[in-house]
Amino acid sequence: MDQDAICYQRFLDGDQEGLAELVERYGDRLCAFLNGIVHNPETAEDLMEDAFAELLARRPRFRGESTF
């Protein structure tokens, strides 16, 4: 299991720092990706926050069939 999958599993097991580490690692890159689609930095930031909020709310399982 890669480090990102380990962080996510920690989050699923109740360690909020696991999700915080993923936000730290991927938040800026996700914003940049989303900004390339919506061409609005504020909207991209909102969408990034929504994506991580969705992880927080739904807590979907990661099957490890690809990298995180």
Q: What is the pLDDT of residues 5-57, one digit of tens each?
A: 899 999 999 999 999 999 999 999 999 999 999 999 999 999 999 999 998 89
* Cβ count near 22 (within 10 Å): 20
Q: How confident is the model at residue 66 (pLDDT cuts 50, 70, 90)?
A: low
Q: Are 34 and 47 a contacting pair, CB within 8 Å? A: yes
Q: pLDDT: is 4 or 65 the higher one? A: 4
Q: What is the pLDDT of residue 1?
A: 59
In this prediction, residue 68 carries a pLDDT of 62
